[in-house]
Each structure stands twice: as structure tokens, then as C-alpha cells.
A and B are shown apart, each in its own frame.
Chain A
Amino acid sequence: EAQLVESGGNLVQPGGSLRLSCAASGFIFSDYWIHWFRQVPGKGLVWVSRINKDGSSTTYADSVKGRFTMSRDNSKNTVYLQMSSLRAEDTAVYYCTRAFGNIHGYGGYDPWGQGTLVIVSS
């Protein structure tokens, strides 16, 4: 069974840094793009970033561009989200998920990890 497990969430001061990890199991990790989303509890989901299969290409939401860096280590089946210059508005539960597609080019996001909570506060 495909599974993703996030870790690394914590309480951090504004301006600080944090690295989240997303460990995958149960599937061929290097065959899939991975995305990060975040969600303020009780609010909607927001896309954060994505990385391609070999880690050579990343894309970010404008709100995190220049502050967050996504990377992956396919030998460890793990994706990372390095977050710096953190702001109060970055406070959220962060989820990683696997992107898949069918032969017609349509796809979805499954599975999702259970999430890891980042709180940015002094």
C-alpha cells in the first residue's frame, strides 16, 4: 500500500527556518511527482510546491517563492521542504501527496500523508 509520512513540523519564531520531510513507501518513489499543500485548521487547502520525478524541476506558489525550497532524495524515498524566513501566515498543517496520471493525461493526488503542523509564532 502506498503511504506518505510527513515529519519535521514544530513551533518556530518568525524569521526562522524549518525542514519538513515526507517519507514514501509502498510504491516506486522515483516514478512520481510529489506536491506539498498546506491548510490552516478549519480553512481551505492551498498548494505550496511540486517536484518532478528526478528532482530537476520545482515549482512554487508565489507566496513561498524565494523562501521555500523543495528537494528529493530518491535513494531515501524522501522529499524535503526547506522553509526559511518563516512568517505567521505560514502557520498551517503541511501535507505531501503523490501525483498520478492516466494515459489520457488526467490525474489526481493520492495518497496524502497525515500532515505535520508548523506554527510560526514568537
Chain B
Amino acid sequence: DIQMTQSPSSLSASVGDRVTITCRASQTIDSHLNWFQQNPGKPPKLLIYGASILQGGVPSRFSGTGSGTDFTLIISSLQPEDLATYFCQQSYSTPLTFGGGTNVEIK
């Protein structure tokens, strides 16, 4: 199975800050990497697929980079509504696997 290591597990940032979350795969996954946002009691929301492709309707302050084993989710200017948990997921091979999540708090 491909292990996904996500960091940090939590962060606190101010509105307007640039936020970076990283995800590392235990083996190369090309660009088969997705990022999700999730709020408590809600289903995951797809933000980015193919490592860098913004899903329709997602604000442009979200972006993704990387390929191979190392990936990054960037929120260019944190907004209050970005308070959530963020997960990376590899879709390179089954079993599909997720990072442990990053809880983003607003200072």
C-alpha cells in the first residue's frame, strides 16, 4: 500500500496569511494526488485533483504543486471560511490512501 505522510497535523494562521501543507507519498504516484477540505459532520470537498488542477467552483486562492512523491497545497490568502481539515489522497493505485489530515485554525 502507498503511505501518505501529511504535515503539519495542525496549524494556526491569521486571515490573509499564506498557508502551506505538504504531503509525501511512500512511492512515486506521478501526479495522481488529490486535496480535500472537510468540515465536521460534512462530506469531503474536492479542491484539487491531478496535483494541480483546481476543481470547478473552488476559489483561486487554493493551488497545488508537485509530482512524483512530494506535493504541496497552498492557500495564498487564508480566509475565515477556510477553517477546516485538509486531506491529501493518492489515486495512483488501490487501495486509495489518505494523509493523516491537517487541521487549519484561524488565529
Contacts and interface: CB of A to CB of B under 8 A. Distances in A.
Nearest to A107: B49
Interface stretch (A17-25, A75-83, A84-92, A111-119): A111-119
Contacts of B55: 108, 110
Contacts of A50: 94
A27 interface: no
Contact of B44 (A62, A104, A107, A112): A112
Contact of A44 (B34, B53, B87, B94): B87
Contacts of A46: 98
A108 B91 contact: yes
Nearest to A6: B43
B50 A109 contact: no
Contacts of B96: 35, 47
Contacts of A47: 94-98
A104 B49 CA distance: 12
Contact of A45 (B32, B50, B53, B98): B98
A113 B31 CA distance: 25
17 contacts: A44-B98, A44-B99, A47-B98, A50-B94, A61-B94, A61-B95, A95-B44, A102-B50, A106-B51, A107-B50, A107-B91, A108-B46, A108-B48, A108-B55, A110-B45, A110-B55, A114-B42
Interface of A: 35, 44-47, 50, 59, 61-62, 95, 97, 102, 104, 106-110, 112-115
